[in-house]
Structures are given as structure tokens and as C-alpha cells.
Structure 1
């Protein structure tokens, strides 16, 4: 694919949200012509790409016909029609990440089976077909139930704390896994190209909003012991190599109180846990994804500064045309970078943007991030 680099490479992106938007911002530097398919007429990518098409990502004909018009097809969301991607691959369209990997990662049950087959440490689990199966399980309470498909950003996950919770548990095929009393949730993003070059970004630490199970703070670099960080990076690289993925892979892990690393979930695309890299690392995750799918040399993942990323979420009591308050005040602060996603409407806890704070002093970066979060609000 590198031979196409200086010509008008036709890149297609399935999904027109904020990840696609930030990919386009990097793709311009690679001289690529970008087409985007998304079901939302007001999608964040609509004004940035060369060609924008409104259509369902899960419809075979829509995805197939869109893919026939590009040279290389990638994704910013996994919920796409994989049958269409496989047909496109058969007909010579390059699809990265590969269709078989998207199919596997669409199903959390298949992900777990993959971990088991490849000796990748993960929480003990059991696959179930319906709510009735919970009554026969031997798992000790409490445990976690996850829908096998279509869960994201905290949706599709339920805590089963008591027998009463079983009555309101998910009815669809799902998995249950042991409740892990973890010390910290961490993330590693790794990239792999056709030449089998692999590079991992340094470990980041994540703090979650307990109400909506979304990342509230992401801190880079980690201050965990070096051997823990190296183990996490090796684990992420092993998964990328076992999958033989072409593209970016985000690996979320738990660090248990006993110091054990357990892989939680995978995402075969740019990820919320890598947004800090735009300002905090030599190469951003978006540039690295493009380098990997274009089969160009992978960029340095070296940390340039302490970076704290906060998600800018819609306020819980507001829904409608988005309005941002406190923007000028935070932009007047040193080392604060605001990224708005171009979403016309806000709703409770919708991801409307992110803000990265960089500082040579880690504690100062964290302190500034907490101030910023109190000041800036998305209302309607």
C-alpha cells in the first residue's frame, strides 16, 4: 500500500464519529482522499471528508457498494456488516483491520475464547444463552454479565450483586465473568503493519466514572513499576501478533491487587484510551493507525510530556442543541488542548469532545485536569 502514498489513495472509513474525524485530520497529511459512511446525516465527519454517504453500517448492500468505490477500507466502529467486508476482501478490496478480526471482536464471547486458546490471562468466564442459565450457574455472587454483542461505552454490562438482580439480567446471549477486585485499569495501544513491524504505546492509567462506566481521566505515562508496564506491553504485542492484525489494537487490562494482569477487552481501531497521544506522544494513535494500514514505517511512540485526558460529556440534565460553557476560561490555561467533536446535539453523558492537559510536572497536569473538568460544561 505504501506505493500509493503520493497518489490520491481512496480511503474509506466505516463510521463517521469522532474517531473518524480525527483520522481524517491525519489522513490529510498523507494526501489520501477520504470517503465516509455513517447513518447520521449530522455525523462529525460530514464536513471534513471528500465524500460523505448516509447509510446503515449493518446493511450488506450499503457497506458492499460503499467499499467497491475505495482502495482501502477501515473502521472507526466495530458494529459493521462483516459479511460485506469478507465479500469485498474476496474481490480485492483491502480491508484493515481484516474482516475475520472484526467478526471475532464483535462478539465478547469469541474474544474470551480467543484469550483462552492463546494463553492470554483473563477473568474466569462462562458463556450463557439466556437469563435462565444464570439460575444454574456455579459462579459465586457478585459477578459481571456482559452482552456478547452490541455493548459499548459501558452499555451492555450489568453487575449481578444478588439473586434479585438475576430477574432483571440481560436475556440475550451473554457471558458472565468473575468479579475482579482490581487495583487499577490500564490500557496499551499497539500497531502492526503488513511488514509485521509492531510497536506499542506506553501504558496509560484510567479512572472511570462509576455512574456510566466511561473513562473520566486518562493519565500518561503510567507510574507503575517498570516490570508491570513491560509485561503489559508484551501482552498487548502478543495479542496483536496472535491475531496477525493490520492496524491499531487497543487492549484494556486489569491490574489485580495481587499484581496480576488480566485482559478485559479489545478494540481493533483508534480508541478513547489513546486520545492523549495527539499532544503527549511523538506519534498520535491516529497517525499510527494510518501508517500501519498504509504499510509505512511505524512512528515513535515515545512520551513527550505528562498528559492527562478528560472526556467532555454532555451534562446529565440537558438534551438538545449543544452549548459549551467555560471554554474561554480553560483555553486561557497553559497546556490545555480542547478537541470538540462537531456533534450538533448533546444528551446526558454523550461524548462531545475531549481535553488533554500536558505539563512537565505530572501532579500539576492532574491538578489542572481536575480544575478544567469543574469549569467546562456541555449544556443545551
Structure 2
């Protein structure tokens, strides 16, 4: 099949920042794109060849969208899988495959997949409703503290809460959920695995993630992770085992815990480009978005090694600011060597909303991390 400067059309479900950065690559290669999102203000709207307004969880909207594309992919997991399965039965090529999405969409079935495939993960208990947890604790079936996670539709720190006492359950939605054992970890790590439709597989270097204590969002991504080589190799091996188990086509971002005794446990996965791979735009020989396109089109995979050390800083809306966005002090950040801001195109900010990121690259990792701290302290995402 001819992809470049042809009648080929790639469909993307989701028009957010991940889709926008994917479109950088399709435009580079002159691949025609069609994108659907529920918001007319979606970052992808101005960059794709064709934009469709529609809800990603609406069966009919997804069916209609998929009818005239040649390959269909996603930039967010929360899409109507029933429609994707129906389109696949009609002969449409969909990556990641709907069966993979169905398992990953639900955190309970995702955790069961790890257990069934002998993939190391934290202990957990599955509940049909949050209201069942209190009785389980009172009867000794579950010990405090634990991590509560909604089985579906959690995203960017939403749908997750540490429960240290029963009162912490108050106000949580009464939905299907899991209670995970809290892991005493040294580091939170991630590995992106790329697999194309011909079965070729490559892994990116292990990255280290530092989280915001309140928002449960990644603040910094550091590549390479500051861990011993044997731990890095173990993390990559576990990530590859997860990818092999799913057999997904596309990218699979595998989030991991490094425990105090250097065991590696799988936390969660995302079957798409991921925040932990943004550093690759400036830092890698092949960035994650180009690699995803290579995967789903069956093209040879690109080199995953880094050119230089990289640190990514997330730009999120400042607390106490809602409204039209202003990037305070961005000119000062632009004057710093090795610093590249990425603005996602969201016109309205609110507390902790992801509005962009900044990549810092340097031959010296310590220097890159120091500059990242300076960037974090300097730039502010506020409202007018």
C-alpha cells in the first residue's frame, strides 16, 4: 500500500495533544489524516486534513468515522470498543487491536491479565462497587492503607486515590474498582515498547518519572533513568514480556515500580504515545510519534536510542487560575540553551490541566536536570 502523497487516509480517534504531535509526523511524510474529537477546540482540529466533531464513546459516531479510513488508530483509550470490533469484522485495519484495548480500558481486567500471564504486579482486589470496600476492610478482607482506582475512565490522576482510613472513601464514585496494595518503591519508571504489524519489536530506554504529590501527575521525565544497568535491563525485560502478552501493534507505554529490593512491578500500561516519551522529540533518534506511525503502517522501526540525555517538564495550569491562558516568563525559558517548549494549543487553562511541556537536552544529565528545575520554577501557566 502506498502511504505517502497518495489517497491513503489514516484515521485518529482523539484530537488532543498526543494526536497533534502525531500529526507533526504525518505532515512530515504527507500522509492524509482524518481526526474525530468531541471538542471543536481540539488541538488537532487545525492540523489534520479532515476534522470530524463526534463523541469517542458514541457507537454510531465511531462507526461512521471509521468507514472511509484505511487504517484507524487512537490517541486516547476511552473510545467505543464495540464499534471498533464491528469495524474490524468489516475488514478495517485497527491498531492497537480492539481486543487489546478492551483489556487495557478496564484496570481490573488489565490487572487480571498480569496475574494470568505471570507478569509481576502489586496485589489487588476487584470490587463491583466502591461501597463494598468498607465492609471488606471491617471484616478483615482488606487492609489499610491501599490505592483505590476506578476500573474505567481514570486519566491524568483522576480516578485514583490513596485510602489511609475509611473516611477517605467518602465522596468516591460508587463504581467498579480495584484496591491495590501500596508499593514501597524507590522509583517510578516507564518503558515504551514499539511493535509493528510485522512483529518487529524495539524498546526505548528506561525513563524515571517524578510525580506531583497532589495532582498525581508526572512533573519530570528523566532519560535515561538514574538506576543501575541491571535494574534497567530487568525493567526492559518485564516491559517486553507485557508487550508480547498483549501482542499489540503500535506503542505500549509500560509504567513500572522499582521496589526497595530492586524488583520490578507493572503498574499500568497505555497502548499509545505517552507522556513518558515526550522527551524523545528532541532526545531520540526516532521520536515516539514517528515510531507509532511506523508501527501501525508496518514500516521498519526506527532507532530508539537517545542522542543526548533528556528531561521533560510538564506544563500544567497553576492552582487558582481558570480562564484564558498566559505562559508567564516563557521568553526567559526560550533564552536557555537546550530548552524547547511545546504548547498544546489549549486556549483555556484550569488547575493541573496539561497545557504543554518543555524538553531539556544536554550531554550532561545532571546539568539537564538542574536546568529542568530552573524551567519549572520560572515558567508559570496562569490565566489573564
Per the normalisation by structure 1, the TM-score is 0.98
Question: 1:70, 1:25 → 2: CA distance?
Answer: 19
Q: Is the 8 A contact 1:184 1:256 kept in 2?
A: yes
User: Is 1:149 the counterpart of 2:152 in the alignment?
Assistant: yes
Paired residue for 2:365? 362
Of 186, 189, 198, 2:192 maps to 189
Matched, 1:290 2:293: yes
Structure 1 residue 132 and structure 2 residue 131: aligned? yes
Equivalent-residue separation in structure 1 for 2:191 and 2:263 (angstroms): 16
Q: d(CA) in 2 for partners of 1:304 and 1:203?
A: 14
Show the 5 A alignment for 1:79-118.
Answer: 79-118=78-117
Deviation at 1:132, TM superposition (A): 3.2
* Pair 1:324-2:309 in alignment: no
Paired with 1:335 and 1:154, the residues of 2 have a C-alpha distance of 29
**1:229 counterpart SS class:** helix
TM-score, normalised by the number of residues in structure 2: 0.97
Aligned to 1:123: 122
Aligned residues: 379
Q: State the alpha-carbon separation in 1 of the partners of residues 342 and 172 from structure 2.
A: 37
Deviation at 1:38, TM superposition (A): 0.3
User: What is the aligned partner in structure 2 of residue 214 from structure 1?
Assistant: 217
**Could you tell me how far apart the structure 2 residues matched to 1:157 and 1:315 are?**
21
Larger mean Cα displacement after TM superposition, 328-337 or 370-379: 370-379
Structure 1 unaligned segments of length 5 or more: list them: none
Q: Is the contact made by 2:3 and 2:31 (CA closer than 8 Å) also made in structure 1?
A: no
CA contact 1:319–1:345 (8 Å) conserved in 2: yes
Question: Which residue is equivalent to 2:231?
Answer: 228
Asked if 1:275 is matched to 2:274, the reply is no
Superimposed CA distance per residue, residues 323-373 of structure 1 (whole angstroms, 9 cap, x where no aligned partner): 111111110010000100011111111100000000111111111111111
For 1:309 and 1:250, locate their aligned partners in 2 and report how far apart those are by CA, in whole Å.
Answer: 16
Pair 1:343-2:371 in alignment: no
Aligned to 2:205: 202
Alignment counterpart, residue 299 of structure 1, candidates 299, 302, 306: 302
- Deviation digits for residues 99-120 of structure 1 (CA, Å, limit 9, x no counterpart): 1111111100010000001000
Partner of 1:33: 32
1:377 pairs with one of 371, 375, 380: 380
Contact 2:107 2:152 (C-alpha < 8 Å) held by counterparts: yes
Contact 1:139 1:178 in 2 (8 A): no
- Runs (4 or more) in structure 1 with deviation over 6 Å come to none
**Is residue 5–residue 294 contact of structure 1 (8 Å, CA) maintained in 2?**
no
Shift of 1:223: 2.4
Deviates more, 1:232-241 or 1:201-210: 232-241
Tell me how far apart the structure 2 counterparts of residues 375 and 163 of structure 1 sit (CA, whole Å).
39
Unmatched segments (≥5 aa) in structure 2: none
User: How many angstroms does 1:129 deviate by?
Assistant: 1.4
State the Cα distance separating 1:57 from its structure 2 match: 0.5
Q: Secondary structure at the match of 2:46?
A: coil
Give the counterpart of 1:249 among 248, 252, 262: 252
2:305 is aligned with 1:309: no
Q: SS state of the match for residue 239, structure 2?
A: helix
Shift of 1:136: 1.7
Question: CA-atom RMSD, angstroms?
Answer: 1.1
Q: For 2:317 and 2:168, locate their aligned partners in 1 and report how far apart those are by CA, in whole Å.
A: 29
> Contact (CA 8 Å) 1:8, 1:31: kept in 2 or not?
no
Q: Secondary structure at the match of 1:329?
A: helix
Cα distance, 1:4 vs. partner? 3.5
